Amino acid sequence: MRRVAAVAVVLVALVFPAGTAAVTGITVFAASSLTQVFPKLDSGPRYSFGGSDSLALQIRNGAPADVFASASPAQANALYREELVLRPRAFATNRLTVIVPSGNPARIRSVFDLRRPGVKIVVGDPQVPIGSYTRTVLTRLRILKAVSKNVVSQENDVKGVVAKVALRQADAGFVYTTDARAAAPRVSTVTIPTRAQPSVQYEIAVVADSDHRAAAATFIRRVLSAAGRKQLRASGFGVPDQ
């Protein structure tokens, strides 16, 4: 009954148009690639950005979150099956790109150049979405084994990948296009072929144990609204069909 009632609260809230006042008093756990855009959507909540798997683990351990926004359906849907969040909603999409430090000192012109001996590459840990997506790209291009030999670091979230490349601690890294855009001009990009692009979908849900379900639902309503979709597009994200 508790779960049914919680779902009813969210469904009622989502029927009504989003307001303009900031949603305060809630904590939003969100994938680190949303660091730039979520505060633009709503400056009111307390945000905790990080790797989606780490945030999901914190929710499993009872962290006081009200909303969970994941860079992959896997984490959100796993929490839903465990009845730790209400039904997730897709709200954004993204693409991957390779970033190199400004000036491109390793002269990387193609993703296939990452196979060259001596190239230092940083990627996401395989447990986080950016790491999983990266391995999908490399597998589709049939260069996973060759590129893996050049990996010098595996980061807990995409911000760690960006930082290592921007600081010239690596010659290249795999990130979301939105993160590459936010890091310009410290980094430049090398295109990944369309045929290798994974399906990157973000999902958002109310945390089942939230004491602020109505406010959490209001925040999600704002993300899904026309204004929210417009801001996501302006920040470089794609938005799924509604």
CA pair distance 37, 30, nearest whole angstrom:
11
pLDDT at 4 over 70: no
pLDDT at 194 over 70: yes
With beta carbons less than 8 A apart as the criterion, state whether 218 and 137 touch.
no
Residue 6's pLDDT is what?
46
Residue 5's pLDDT is what?
41
pLDDT at 169 over 60: yes
CA pair distance 96, 55, nearest whole angstrom:
21
Mean pLDDT of the chain: 92
Domain boundaries, the chain: 2-93+201-234, 96-196
Q: Report the residue count for the chain.
A: 242
Strand 200-206, strand 67-70: pairing = antiparallel
Residue 1's pLDDT is what?
43
With beta carbons less than 8 A apart as the criterion, state whether 128 and 51 touch.
yes
Residue carrying structure tokens 């302006």: 234
Residue 14's pLDDT is what?
42
Residue 114's pLDDT is what?
98
CA pair distance 179, 50, nearest whole angstrom:
14
Residue 230's pLDDT is what?
97
CA atoms within 13 A on the CB side of 99: 35
pLDDT at 130 over 60: yes
Residue ranges of alpha helices (H) inside the chain are: 2-15, 38-41, 52-60, 73-81, 129-140, 144-148, 158-166, 177-183, 213-224, 226-234
pLDDT at 209 over 80: yes
Residue 34: CB atoms within 10 A of its CB come to: 27
- Spatial CA neighbour of 27 closest among 209, 238, 224: 209
Question: Which one is the CATH code of 2-93+201-234: 3.40.190.10, 3.30.56.10, 3.90.1560.10, 3.40.309.10?
Answer: 3.40.190.10
Between 34 and 5, the higher pLDDT residue: 34
Q: pLDDT tens digits for 28-82?
A: 999 999 999 999 999 999 999 999 999 999 999 999 999 999 999 999 999 999 9
**Residue 10: pLDDT band with limits 50, 70, 90:** very low
- The arithmetic mean of pLDDT across residues 99-107, rounded, is 97
CA pair distance 97, 74, nearest whole angstrom:
21
With beta carbons less than 8 A apart as the criterion, state whether 115 and 202 touch.
no
Residue 163: CB atoms within 10 A of its CB come to: 17
pLDDT at 20 over 70: no
How much of the chain exceeds pLDDT 70, in percent?
91
Question: Which one is the CATH code of 96-196: 3.40.190.10, 3.40.50.2000, 3.30.365.10, 3.40.50.1260?
Answer: 3.40.190.10
- Matching fold, domains 2-93+201-234 and 96-196: yes
Between 10 and 168, the higher pLDDT residue: 168
pLDDT at 17 over 90: no
Amino acid at 142: R
CA pair distance 179, 97, nearest whole angstrom:
9
Tokens encoding 179: 């993160």
Residue 21's pLDDT is what?
74
Residues 6+ apart with CB under 8 A from 32: 49, 50, 51, 157, 158, 159
**Alpha carbon 183 to chain centroid distance?**
15
